[in-house]
Every structure is written in C-alpha cells, then in structure tokens.
Copies of this chain bind each other. A is one copy, B any other.
Amino acid sequence: MNFTGANILSVEQFDRDSIAEIFATADRMLPYARRQKRTRVLDGAILGNLFFEPSTRTRVSFGTAFNLLGGEVRETTGMESSALTKGESLYDTARVLSSYSDVIAMRHPKSGSVAEFAQGSRVPVLNGGDGANEHPTQALLDLYTIKKELAYHGHDVDGMHICMMGDLKFGRTVHSLSRLLAMYNKVRFTLISPRELAMPDSVLDVLAQAGHQVTVTDQMSGSSDADIIYQTRIQQERFTTPQEADMYRGKFRLNSEIYTKHYKPNTVIMHPLPRDSRAEANELDNDLNQNPNLAIFRQADNGVLIRMALFALTLGVADIVDRYETEVPWFSDKRNV
C-alpha cells in the first residue's frame, strides 16, 4: 500500500508487504528512541492528539513518538471538554481540528467513530482505539514484539505456536492480533479461556479459513511447547454471578510456579498492559518481573517505534529521517540497561 497521506484505521487494510514495510521502518527508529541520535525531520509539524477516552500510556506513547521525530503535540483529552457533547458532528469536529494539525491520533469510546472522523479530516488519521472495534497500533506492536522476540531465539512467526489466555471474548487486542497473524503461515493457536469468555466465532473462522491449527480449551495443560503466551485480564464483571467468577479464580493466571510447571524455559510472556498487580487479581504476578522472558515492557517500548514508523510513513518522511540528524548531548545511559 502507499502510506503517504493514508489513514491507519484497521488491521484489515494491511497485507504482509505493508506490515514488512512498517516493521522495517520501526527498526530504523530504534537509535532515535534509544537517544543514540536525534532527528528533526518533523520540526514544525503538529500532532493533534485527541483522546476522547482516557488512556494514559497510548496517549503518551503517540505524543512521545511524534516528539522523537521533532514534532510538536497539541492535546485534547476527555469528552466533557468537547463540543461533541453539544451536538457537534464528528464531521465538523474533524474539519476544524484537522486544520490545526498535520496528522491526528484519535481514541474515542464509540465503535466506528475514528473512521467517521477520518472522512472529514484534511490530514491523515491514526486510530488509537475506537471502542470495542479496533486498536491497530496495539495489534502492530504486538506482532512486532512477537517477531523480534522469536528472532532473538532464532525463530519466525511462520510456524510458531502462540497461546492466548484469559478473556478472549471481549479482549479487543487478541482479536486484532489474531487477524494479523492469520496472514502468516502455519501458526498454531491454543486459546485458553473460561467457556463464557471464548474467542468469538468470527475470529475463529478467519483463522480456520487461513488454514491455521486452532485448539480451544479451558485448561493450561497441553500447551507446554508454546513460543508465546499472550495473557489478558479477566474482569470480574464479565461473569453473571460471583460464584461463577470464583469457579475460575486462579485458573487463567501466570506466576513463576505456574509458568515453570507448564511451559518450556524460553516461552515469551506478553500482556497488553496495564496489568492488575494486586494479589487478588490472579493475572500476571510480580514474581515474574525478573524473568528475562517477560516481554511486557519491551512491548511498551516497541509501541513507540511502531507509532514513529506510522507517523514517518503517513507523512512521507520515512526515507529522509536521517537527513535531519543531530547529536544527543544529554545523559541517557540508564534507559538502555
């Protein structure tokens, strides 16, 4: 696809070639994100960072990515401070706010709203999450992380075995990631969840049609040769009764003991973050924090690279980033240990 001037609204718009282009661009962003050098290619450009729904880390990640390319960020957060509540159409909002910036990153609680906004926008729009619908930059950073983590162990996405665990019904991230993975070859999926929170048929159909091997289960056992475990949170409110919730308590949880018992030593652990670190959460325990296979913070770091890549591509500067390089004179050694 031709990225220049394009909107990034859905994982559906990509093929393997366009994903490869995004990832190759993200790779070239690493020295800037690590502050080994600095670029000013977008000096003077403005990101309109529109978060009509709160999401601290996605918002800051977009803003940081734009700053690292040399640009400025004008931010709008919260629904209440917006004219949208006074009956303004998304078309009007888009026509006006897009004229204030060179590119828009937008999150909104309503499904389809970002695509609707994009129709009125005069600059490229990046979907930062529109309700239950899509969150394409999250799916891309997840896939990019899988690719990099597997490459470290000498493996590839084609032929890998991934376990997705937790709430697979409402978890938007696992749906989008599955759709992306469907484009690869011979992936094995083990989908572990309470029956009530199983992966929707619409996603299962995509995987089946693409010829992947899918196992649906509510047991962790039998997935010991997984290359990746992708853990998502089960929210107590998803169950109709507390008794039901109790029945599943602790069965879809990872801690050091469960990890060691069930998985091979190099299995990579992922999670879309934030995780609930309270003892009663039964999600992903802190005793795995020092485990080198815990990739959750590398995942967050990769989000900046992916967003830098998408800004550079949609604004047509991916190939000239290094023409605007300067040095980094300040201390930055602590970040890369």
Residue numbers of A with Cβ under 8 A of B are 4-5, 35, 38, 40-46, 48, 54, 56-57, 60-61, 63-64, 67-68, 70, 72-78, 80-83, 86-89, 91-93, 95-102, 122-124, 273-278, 281, 286, 289, 297, 300-301, 304, 314-317, 320, 324, 326, 328-335, 337
A273 to B329, CA, bound (A): 35
A88, A96, A300: most-surrounded residue (chain B CB, <10 A): A96
Question: Whole-angstrom distance from the CB of A281 to the nearest CB of chain B?
Answer: 6
Known: A56-B81, A64-B101, A122-B337; 5 extra A-B contacts, CB below 8 A, are A44-B326, A46-B68, A61-B100, A87-B276, A315-B330
Question: Whole-angstrom distance from the CB of A277 to the nearest CB of chain B?
Answer: 4
A49 to B72, CA, bound (A): 15
Is the pair B330, A91 in contact by a Cβ cutoff of 8 Å?
no
Collect the chain B residues with CB atoms within 8 Å of residue A44's CB: 38, 40, 67-68, 70, 326, 328
Is the pair B56, A274 in contact by a Cβ cutoff of 8 Å?
no
Question: Whole-angstrom distance from the CB of A93 to the nearest CB of chain B?
Answer: 8
Collect the chain B residues with CB atoms within 8 Å of residue A56's CB: 76, 81-83, 97
A172 to B275, CA, bound (A): 34
Collect the chain B residues with CB atoms within 8 Å of residue A97's CB: 56-57, 60
Collect the chain B residues with CB atoms within 8 Å of residue A324's CB: 329
* Given A56-B81, A330-B102, A88-B274 contact (CB < 8 Å): yes
Is the pair B301, A331 in contact by a Cβ cutoff of 8 Å?
no
Is the pair A274, B92 in contact by a Cβ cutoff of 8 Å?
yes
A70 to B315, CA, bound (A): 19
* Given A81-B54, A100-B60, A278-B87 contact (CB < 8 Å): yes
A63 to B335, CA, bound (A): 21
Collect the chain B residues with CB atoms within 8 Å of residue A101's CB: 64
With beta carbons under 8 angstroms apart, the residue of B77, B95, B102 that contacts A297 is B95
A42 to B72, CA, bound (A): 14
Is the pair B326, A100 in contact by a Cβ cutoff of 8 Å?
no
Question: Whole-angstrom distance from the CB of A166 to the nearest CB of chain B?
Answer: 15
Is the pair A329, B41 in contact by a Cβ cutoff of 8 Å?
yes
